[in-house]
Structures are given as structure tokens and as C-alpha cells.
Structure 1
Amino acid sequence: MTQPGEPNSTPWWYRVPPVAVVLIAYSVVGAVVYTTLSTSGIAWAGGGILAGLLAAGIQGAARAAHNEHEQR
């Protein structure tokens, strides 16, 4: 843990809210699917949701690993 006056040692991706990760991944993947693969709303929404949840899961695993590393 950092003390007052010490520089923050957490990486930038740790400080990003999980909701922001989901929304960014959702919008980027949804736009890519819409413009390249299909104009179907189900296709781009479904692909975006799956990518957003995957990104949130990966960020959560990285946060857990970082927390475990910090406790040692």
C-alpha cells in the first residue's frame, strides 16, 4: 500500500472502472462488426457484448493478480 506523499504504484489499467472497459470494448467491436461483417443489429450487439464481458473478465483477472502480488 502506498503512504501519503508516495507516488501511486498502481498501473493505469487498474484505475480504469470496469464499466468503462465494457463500454469501450462494446462500442469498438460493435462498430467493427457493423462496418466489416454484418449490418444486422443482433450481430454487432452480440459481438460487442461478448467482447465487453471478455475484456471485463480479463481486467478482473489482472486486478486479482496485481492485488496478490501487492500483498506479498
Structure 2
Amino acid sequence: MDQSRGSDSRPKGPWWYRVPPVAVVVITYAVTGVVIFTVVSESAMAWAGGGLALGLLAAFVQGAARAAYDERHR
């Protein structure tokens, strides 16, 4: 068998590096929205706004972690 296909000399990186930023925002948005809705407030504005804010913050943190990883493994 030829194993040269698909082999890459670079490491693929940790699992969080391969997760798309949109998935990070959506997952964080959903989890935060559920927590705010059940614990804090049943207002749609509260869980939607809080979920979106934390989702975007999570995407920002993931981007910063990707940049740091790229810098270390360049």
C-alpha cells in the first residue's frame, strides 16, 4: 500500500484547532442561552444577548489560541 497519500509533514494540531469558529460560536451560544434561560431570566433578550456575547468571546479566545499555537509551531 502506498502510504504517501494524505501524509503531511506538519502536525495537525490539537482538537480545538480543527473546530470551525462558527461551531464554537453556535455551541457556546446554545449552552449559554439554556443556562441563562433556566437559571437567570426567561427573557428572550437576556438569553439571546448573553449567548451571543459569550459565543463571540469564545471565538475570539479560540482565534488567539490558534495564533499562539501557530507562532510556537512555525
Smaller-chain TM-score range?
A: 0.7 to 0.9
Structure 2, unpaired ranges of 5+: 1-5
Deviates more, 1:57-66 or 1:8-17: 8-17
Deviations 1:15-67 (A, max 9, x none): 00000000000000000000001000000000000000000000000000000
Letter matched to residue 31 of structure 1? V
Letter matched to residue 21 of structure 1? V
Structure 1, unpaired ranges of 5+: none
1:19 equivalent to 2:22? Answer yes
Give the structure-2-normalised TM-score.
0.86
Runs of 4+ in 1 over 2 A off after TM superposition: 5-9
Compare the two structures and name the one with the higher helix fraction.
1
Instruction: Tell me the residue number matched to 1:53.
Output: 56
**Aligned match for 1:42, one of 22, 40, 45:** 45
Query: Matched residue pairs, number?
Result: 69
Report the Cα distance in structure 2 between the residues aligned to 1:50 and 1:67, rounded to whole angstroms: 26
**Aligned match for 1:29, one of 28, 32, 35:** 32
Q: In terms of Rg, which structure is larger?
A: 2
Give the structure-1-normalised TM-score.
0.88
Report the Cα distance in structure 2 between the residues aligned to 1:5 and 1:59, rounded to whole angstroms: 23
Report the identity percentage: 57
Report the Cα distance in structure 1 between the residues aligned to 2:8 and 2:56, rounded to whole angstroms: 36
